[in-house]
Amino acid sequence: MDEGRPIYSQVAEQIENDIISGALPEDTQVPSTNEFAAYLRINPATAGKGVNLLVDEGILYKKRGIGMFVSPGARERLIAARRDRFRNQYVTPLLAEAAKLGIPADQVAAMIRTDGRAAR
């Protein structure tokens, strides 16, 4: 777990990542709070807080007596939310670092284009 960020939000983020990647498809059951706690070696109450955060946001839903499941449409909603944050989270720091090193924005753009080609 990272320092400096609440553990429960990191738990929520890991589940989100698995939903976005397709490892947890819609309407499948997610591991239990205790399974998360044992796997991540964190306090069960903290793991539960992370799971409940996603229940409150409607990403997961509860089947009484059975467990937590991925809500229909959860993946689309998460991707939309991540796209909104993409600029702040990745582009702004990238340009700040480039500015610090004196790399002009159009050169950064050129790098992104060539890197994109190389990756393909």
Binding residues for other proteins, per CB under 8 A? 1-8, 33-34, 37-38, 40-46, 49
Pick between residue 1 and residue 109 the one whose CB is nearest to other proteins. 1
Name the residue nearer to other proteins (CB basis): 7 or 108: 7
The torsion angle over the Cα atoms of residues 108, 86, 96 and 101, rounded to 10 degrees, is: -40
Q: How far is the CB of 44 from other proteins (least distance, A)?
A: 4
Closer to other proteins at the Cβ: 67 or 77? 67
110: exposed, middle or buried (Cβ count in 10 Å: 0-12, 13-18, 19+): exposed
Q: Which two tokens mark 85?
A: 């944050």
CB of 43 to other proteins, least distance (A): 5
**37/59 with CB nearer other proteins:** 37
* Least CB distance to other proteins at residue 56 (A): 16
For 4, 65, 75, 97, the CA distances from 58, given in Å and listed in that order, are 26, 18, 11, 36
Smallest gap, in angstroms, from Cβ of residue 35 to other proteins?
9
Alpha-carbon distance of 15 to 55, in angstroms, equals 12
